[in-house]
């Protein structure tokens, strides 16, 4: 039987068992199972890793439990700005959208950039325009709206006012030490600081790898901030020589450390295993810098790694035998 496998994440952060209700935990696990199964079903029928990655991510984008697609967080102006990227390990082709506002499934937006344009990355209105021209399903702001996300924005704006009253900052300016606090709680459905992003990496029966990532970004985001999710090499990378990777975490650290490609480079150039390379990047490089987060990765043999240096990471995986794992906390 040909080998294949799939792994997904739904964001990492301060996800604590004590602050999660049994009912909510059940909802998260059910949606993670549904997502990983959607990709698994495609792979088991001989479908491509790319199709599996897109299908799994769409399940998470369509759920308001996760900060991507429907239920994305709001930026400072009270709007949704979504980022996504996808990469094909066979061809090294890649696509990404940054700051999209109307594409129902941003991961599909990234995919049409890859498959239907000669470019890799489209941003802002242009990303929406291209997706519309390509016939993707578009939505009004009301579709993406989630009341809890809206309340999060109001809370953070209130906190920001308090912070500014006690600092010498100019209006709109937040000291870096405060910024993490102000931006971080992008998901108060559970509790604590979370980096809401979803992603998937898959190996298909033909031995091809693919990875994708999608996010609603940071609550109260300003200045058109772009994180690592739409950046090929940082948030997403796939190469049939080595592995496929999707990241979630404090995006700035993931960009500076070129995290997704670094896992591949450590495997290709230093001969590390997937387990060693992902551990090296998440625990030995990111963690000492304060770069909170995690990643999911899969190699050409179907080995899977899901390391994170935060309290928890929503994650699930499934191998060719249909054996699945769905986890939230450290174990």
Among 172, 206, 290, 329, binds a copy of itself (CB under 8 A): 172
- Distance separating alpha carbons of residues 117 and 106, to the nearest angstrom: 16
- Distance separating alpha carbons of residues 98 and 275, to the nearest angstrom: 30
Name the one residue in this structure whose structure tokens are 């920001």: 160
Q: Select from 7-15, 85-93, 149-157, 189-197 the region that touches a copy of itself (CB under 8 A).
A: 85-93
Contacts with a copy of itself in 53-82 (CB under 8 A)?
none
- Distance separating alpha carbons of residues 103 and 271, to the nearest angstrom: 40
| Residue 273 known to be catalytic | no
Instruction: Choose the catalytic residue: 48, 197, 219, 236.
Output: 197
Min. distance of Cβ 316 from a copy of itself in angstroms? Answer: 28
Q: What is the helix (H) or strand (E) element at residue 49, kind and residue range? A: helix 49-61
Among 6, 121, 210, 326, binds a copy of itself (CB under 8 A): 121
Comparing CB distances to a copy of itself, the nearer of 25 and 252 is 252
Comparing CB distances to a copy of itself, the nearer of 124 and 192 is 124
Distances (CA, A) of 152 to 78, 81, 160, 284: 11, 16, 12, 33
Comparing CB distances to a copy of itself, the nearer of 205 and 285 is 285
170 touches a copy of itself (CB under 8 A): yes
Q: Select from 10-18, 151-159, 207-215, 262-270 the region that touches a copy of itself (CB under 8 A).
A: 262-270
- Distance separating alpha carbons of residues 51 and 40, to the nearest angstrom: 10
The token duo for 109 is 């937006």
- Distance separating alpha carbons of residues 306 and 291, to the nearest angstrom: 16
The token duo for 322 is 């249909």
- Distance separating alpha carbons of residues 286 and 237, to the nearest angstrom: 17
Residues acting as catalytic residues: 197
Q: Which residues bind a copy of itself (CB under 8 A)?
A: 87, 92-94, 98-99, 116-127, 129-130, 133, 170, 172-174, 176, 179-180, 183, 222-227, 231-234, 237, 251-252, 255-258, 261-262, 265-266, 269-270, 289
């Amino acid at each position: 039987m040909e080998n294949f496998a799939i792994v997904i994440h739904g964001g990492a952060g301060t996800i604590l068992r004590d602050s999660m209700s049994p009912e909510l935990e059940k909802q998260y696990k059910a949606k993670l199972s549904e997502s990983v199964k959607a990709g698994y079903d495609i792979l088991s029928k001989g479908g491509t890793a790319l199709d599996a990655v897109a299908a799994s991510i769409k399940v998470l984008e369509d759920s308001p439990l996760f900060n991507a697609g429907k239920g994305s967080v709001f930026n400072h102006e009270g709007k949704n700005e979504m980022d996504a990227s996808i990469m094909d390990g066979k061809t090294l082709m890649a696509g990404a959208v940054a700051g999209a506002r109307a594409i129902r499934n941003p991961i599909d937006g990234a995919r049409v950039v890859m498959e239907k344009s000669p470019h890799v990355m489209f941003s802002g209105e242009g990303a929406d325009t291209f997706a519309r021209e390509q016939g993707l399903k578009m939505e009004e702001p009301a579709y993406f709206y989630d009341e809890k996300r809206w309340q999060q924005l109001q809370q953070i704006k209130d906190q920001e006012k308090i912070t500014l009253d006690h600092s010498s900052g100019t209006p709109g300016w937040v000291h870096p030490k405060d910024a993490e606090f102000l931006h971080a709680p992008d998901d108060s459905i559970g509790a604590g600081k979370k980096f809401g992003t979803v992603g998937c990496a898959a190996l298909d029966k033909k031995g091809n790898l693919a990875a994708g990532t999608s996010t609603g970004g940071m609550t109260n985001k300003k200045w058109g901030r772009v994180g690592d999710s739409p950046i090929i090499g940082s948030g997403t990378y796939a190469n049939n020589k080595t592995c496929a990777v999707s990241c979630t975490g404090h995006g700035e650290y993931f960009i500076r450390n070129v995290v997704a490609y670094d896992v591949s480079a450590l495997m290709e150039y230093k001969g590390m295993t997937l387990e060693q390379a992902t551990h090296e990047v998440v625990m030995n490089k990111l963690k000492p810098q304060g770069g909170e987060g995690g990643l999911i990765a899969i190699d050409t043999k179907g080995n899977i790694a899901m390391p994170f240096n935060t309290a928890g990471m929503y994650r699930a995986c499934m191998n060719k035998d249909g054996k699945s794992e769905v986890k939230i906390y450290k174990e």
